[in-house]
């Protein structure tokens, strides 16, 4: 299997401040690059890892077993973290999110994530999810398509592309990534095609919609603040501005001192925030990492710690 190269690996592991007897959660196991590093550092602890993708889970189980058995994998969405923490009666000392999809998912032509490879319009991370990209493209109204292309893709030709999709699907159902790429390509002015692939933003938007990525991330990150142990940290690697904004705002709110009490000379301890920011500015990959792995280019790492 072609490998996924983990992004900001050292930076995220260092910032989790791992204790050898601690309990850790990898919310996005993928191909276990980060999980392997966590597991090696917790000979007396336990790792709980989540991934919706069956392929990722079966590959990573073997990879982690070759290190030790202090782990448990859930082949389910990270939105179950809070429920699982209650069931297992644990308060994690660290939680990691490495959002988006893995290179293995992108490179697997059968999954339909890539605008570079012809495949059925699928884009599901969870192969049991009933909603596919084909359903989005063929059944959403023009207004709804425009809305997701703008909101999740920041696509400025959203209306033109949505109308062209509608025109096309009246003639024939749009079934493949190639057919969709051709439609988008027709809507793009020639001179703008130099600024990256014309289908990039629309594909991102459809993927986010199919997998309900932003809502689930926002809800789960808030849950994680609740379940985290005192002294524990949450590290989040994002790959686009929409995810990063959600993380930045949630962390900001959790670490802010109330405006009313901010000016007081001696603020009572219980009125101080429960969290502190470890990264006031996000950590980004070095030039060397970007050169070695172009997928890391847009990555940002933010870290927060629960202090009381």
51 lies in the site for ligand SAM, by CB under 6 A? yes
DSSP per position, the chain: -PPPPPSSHHHHHHHTT--TT-EEEES--TTSHHHHHHHHT-TTSEEEEE-S-HHHHHHHHHHHHTT-S-EEEE-S-GGGHHHHHHHHT---SEEEEE-S--HHHHH-GGG---TTS--BS---SSTT-S--HHHHHHHS-HHHHHHHHHHHH--TTHHHHHHHHHHHHHHS---BHHHHHHHHHHHS-GGGGGSS-TTHHHHHHHHHHHHTHHHHHHHHHHHHHHHPPTT-EEEEEESSHHHHHHHHHHHHHHHPPPHHHHT-SS--GGGS-SEEES-SS-B---HHHHHH-GGGGG-EEEEEEE--
CB of 210 to ligand SAM, least distance (A): 11
The contact pattern for ligand SAM, residues 86-115, with x = CB under 6 A and - = no contact, is ------------x-xxx-------------
Binders of ligand SAM among 64-83, rule CB under 6 A? 77-78
CB of 275 to ligand SAM, least distance (A): 23
CB of 266 to ligand SAM, least distance (A): 43
CB of 171 to ligand SAM, least distance (A): 34
Q: Using the rule CB under 6 A, which residue among 15, 28, 114, 177 binds ligand SAM? A: 28
Nearest residue to ligand SAM on Cβ basis: 30
Q: Using the rule CB under 6 A, which residue among 8, 16, 18, 32 binds ligand SAM? A: 32
Which residue's CB is nearer to ligand SAM, number 100 or number 153? 100
**CA distance linking residue 154 with residue 163, whole number of Å:** 17
CB of 162 to ligand SAM, least distance (A): 26
Q: Which stretch binds ligand SAM (CB under 6 A): 28-36, 138-146, 154-162, 168-176?
A: 28-36
Strand arrangement, sheet containing 46-50: 71-74, 46-50, 23-26, 94-98, 233-238, 300-306, 275-277
Which residue's CB is nearer to ligand SAM, number 238 or number 255? 238
Tokens of 117: 């490879």
289 lies in the site for ligand SAM, by CB under 6 A? no
The contact pattern for ligand SAM, residues 202-241, with x = CB under 6 A and - = no contact, is --------------x-------------------------
Count the alpha carbons within 13 Å of 167 in the hemisphere toward its beta carbon: 10
Q: Using the rule CB under 6 A, which residue among 52, 233, 240, 300 binds ligand SAM? A: 52
Q: Using the rule CB under 6 A, which residue among 34, 124, 207, 300 binds ligand SAM? A: 34
Which residue's CB is nearer to ligand SAM, number 128 or number 195? 128
134 lies in the site for ligand SAM, by CB under 6 A? no
Binding residues for ligand SAM (CB under 6 A): 4, 6, 28, 30-34, 50-53, 56, 77-78, 98, 100-102, 125, 216
């Amino acid at each position: 299997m072609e490998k996924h190269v983990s992004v900001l690996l050292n930076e995220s592991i260092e910032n989790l401040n791992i204790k050898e007897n601690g309990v850790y959660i990898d919310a996005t196991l993928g191909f276990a690059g980060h999980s392997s590093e966590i597991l090696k550092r917790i000979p007396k602890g336990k790792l709980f890892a989540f991934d919706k993708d069956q392929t990722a889970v079966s590959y990573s189980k073997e990879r982690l077993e070759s290190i030790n058995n202090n782990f448990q994998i859930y082949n389910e969405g990270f939105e179950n973290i809070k429920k699982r923490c209650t069931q297992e009666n644990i308060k994690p000392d660290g939680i990691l999110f490495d959002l988006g999809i893995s290179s293995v998912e992108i490179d697997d032509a059968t999954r339909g994530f890539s605008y570079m490879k012809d495949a059925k319009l699928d884009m599901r991370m969870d192969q049991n999810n009933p909603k596919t990209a084909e359903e989005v493209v063929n059944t959403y109204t023009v207004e709804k398509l425009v809305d997701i292309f703008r909101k999740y893709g920041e696509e400025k030709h959203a209306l033109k592309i949505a109308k062209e999709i509608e025109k096309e699907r009246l003639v024939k159902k749009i079934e493949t990534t190639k057919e969709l790429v051709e439609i988008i390509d027709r809507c793009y002015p020639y001179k703008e095609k130099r600024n990256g692939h014309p289908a990039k933003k629309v594909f991102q938007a459809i993927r986010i919609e199919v997998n309900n990525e932003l809502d689930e991330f926002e809800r789960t990150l808030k849950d994680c603040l609740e379940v985290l142990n005192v002294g524990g940290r949450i590290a989040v690697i994002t790959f686009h501005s929409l995810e990063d904004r959600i993380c930045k705002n949630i962390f900001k709110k959790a670490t802010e001192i109330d405006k009313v009490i901010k000016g007081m000379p001696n603020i009572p301890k219980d009125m101080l925030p429960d969290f502190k920011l470890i990264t006031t500015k996000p950590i980004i990959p070095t030039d060397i990492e970007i050169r070695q792995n172009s997928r890391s280019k847009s990555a940002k790492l933010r870290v927060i710690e629960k202090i009381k």
